[in-house]
Structure 1
């Protein structure tokens, strides 16, 4: 299965270049807005974060752990896309299953960022949130290849917002998301003839990738020092 995923990623990632940088950035702006602000019955990142914080005795780390657990379960539920308060009908220029998992994972990372003291209205933070969707291996690989110039933490705490870096990150993330969903489809094609296995594999893939991204965001987005204390 890992070999299939690597094969698909290596062959489909270049195909993502069909998305112009502006188009990729536009897609992810829609994903970010829904993940951070919420949509219909789908609460936004800050609301989720504050809810978990109140239920864990105002302990940010326990709240982060609860946020990750919640989103792993949500990602792993069979048919979760259709239960996200109308997300499947959104005019986002990605397939519905890809849109759903991208929004769930983005909300998780944004909630973690909020709990660590980052301002979700800051465009630098939003770029960093999206960068985390590449995961630890994805970021490390792109840093090595110089297709990404810096880490999510450095992006979030940069002196100024870099629109060109934002477009670069958007292209890389959209390419990664397309490769992941295509790899999952190939695996599901192999398992489809075995009763119940296809659904279990699909939910497992989404749950595992969400866990990995959550752990990476937890590690990467360290506690933000208030500006008043930075001097």
Structure 2
């Protein structure tokens, strides 16, 4: 149990660090999430149209993403993520956070961060809220999170962090990379495309459709 708590904290800390960098924008050509969202909203008649255009472009960028430099303060985990995996996760966070902003959420708030991370890892917020002992009177995740006190929010983030470590530390991308070190870039790009497209649809449904 103690080891599990440590892993939860490590995963949550890593996600929090990368999320804050993603919202601010780091690396060559990256602007803040707010600036990115406003640029799309100026060019389209509605927030919905702007969001769909942004999501489409971000899916393409994630598929052909280069190495993003300058992500500082990345803490150690029980495993090491390949740079390309970290890059794609970073861009996916920006995509979800941008969607949240267009839907009326403040990207820098703790509540929005929790929603974005839950969307990224695909963890039901209502389920997590119940796990930390908070009674949820609504099934709408974005409404539930508003009433969650700070300490409970921290516990929820730790649970998300544990799910993150379980997803990337024991199965899937990490082990695949170790087992097949010379896997073609085309295969990796295809995986990134389908995964990011799925996340994009989930983000739109999550923040615009509830």
TM range (shorter): 0.7 to 0.9
Which residue, 64, 73, 80 being the options, matches 1:91?
Answer: 73
Structure 2 equivalent of residue 215 of structure 1: 201
Unaligned stretches of 5+ residues in structure 1: 1-13, 225-231
Q: Distance in 2 between matches of 1:97 and 1:175?
A: 20
**Pairwise CA RMSD:** 3.3
Q: Which moved more, 1:173-182 or 1:117-126?
A: 173-182
Which residue, 79, 89, 109 being the options, matches 1:122?
Answer: 109
Equivalent residue runs for 1:44-63 within 5 Å: 44-57=32-45, 59-63=46-50
Equivalent residue runs for 1:1-231 within 5 Å: 17=4, 19-41=6-28, 42-57=30-45, 59-77=46-64, 80-82=65-67, 84-87=68-71, 90-93=72-75, 95=81, 96-135=83-122, 138-139=123-124, 143=127, 152-156=141-145, 158-173=146-161, 175-176=163-164, 179-180=167-168, 182-187=171-176, 198-222=184-208
Cα drift, residue 204 of structure 1: 1.3
Q: Distance in 1 between matches of 2:190 and 2:8?
A: 31
Number of residue equivalences: 196
SS of corresponding position for 2:172: helix
SS of corresponding position for 1:222: helix
- Cα distance change, pair 105–23 in 1 and its aligned pair in 2 (3 A): same
Cα drift, residue 139 of structure 1: 3.0
Note if contact 2:12-2:160 (Cα within 8 Å) is conserved in structure 1.
no
- Cα distance change, pair 202–102 in 1 and its aligned pair in 2 (3 A): same
SS of corresponding position for 1:221: helix
Q: Which moved more, 1:24-33 or 1:94-103?
A: 94-103
Cα drift, residue 23 of structure 1: 2.5
Unaligned stretches of 5+ residues in structure 2: none
TM-score normalized by the length of structure 1: 0.69
Cα drift, residue 152 of structure 1: 4.0
TM-score normalized by the length of structure 2: 0.75
